[in-house]
Amino acid sequence: MRMTPAHLQTNPLCSFDAAVRTTWCAVTSLLPNNAQWEQAYKGFECAGFGLRSAARHAEAAFLSSACVSRELRHSLDPAFTLAANSHTSDFGISLTAYNNKLSENKQLQPQAVAGRRQQSLSLALDEEGHTERLTNASLVDQATLRFAREEGAKDFRQAIRCNHHGFAVP
């Protein structure tokens, strides 16, 4: 799915995200509201659970994969071109959609995408969402979000080590 542009698979990606939410709620017996679920979608670096929305991060996955595989694709088909500077190419459409999720000063030009891993592209999306949530949050929620990003705040994953059974989180 990483090699298929997001705009060609919007419904399946949204369906997958809905299935993840339904499954998570069924397994945990927790029913987060939409704002809480958006927070859960963010990476640990942004005080989330790292569940990652497939639909929200699809452009980042495609852009990264398209750049990394460009040479291999060209070796298979010498006529292949990424057409990164064309706004109507799959790459251009994906870059526009990705940039629309970022503030203007963080938007990327086509040349800036080359060599970037999905992790860094997705982190930019998470940071943008975190900043927006922080701006609109109550004072208590702001304090909680800031605390969750502090050094050691994510160590709750290591609270109960169970090396004997192989359950410890690395």
Name the nearest CA neighbour of 110 among 86, 128, 137.
86
Tally the domains of the chain.
1
Q: Which tokens is 157 given?
A: 């994953």
Contact indicator for 64, 148 with CB cutoff of 8 Å: no
Asked if the structure places residue 136 within a domain, the reply is yes
Position 122 scores a pLDDT of 93
Cα distances from 118 to residues 5, 55, 98, 123, 165, in angstroms, run 14, 14, 12, 8, 33
Overall pTM surpassing 0.85 (yes/no): no
Asked if the structure places residue 1 within a domain, the reply is no
CA 85 to chain CA centroid, nearest Å = 23
Structural domain that includes position 148? 6-165
Asked if the structure places residue 128 within a domain, the reply is yes
- The stretch 68-91 carries a mean pLDDT of 88
Asked if the structure places residue 30 within a domain, the reply is yes
Which stretch of DSSP H or E encloses residue 54? helix 54-68
Position 159 scores a pLDDT of 54
Position 141 scores a pLDDT of 85
Asked if the structure places residue 89 within a domain, the reply is yes
What digits encode the pLDDT tens for the residues 40-74? 888 877 888 888 899 999 999 999 999 988 888 88
Tracing tokens 């109960």 back to the chain, one arrives at: 160
Asked if the structure places residue 170 within a domain, the reply is no
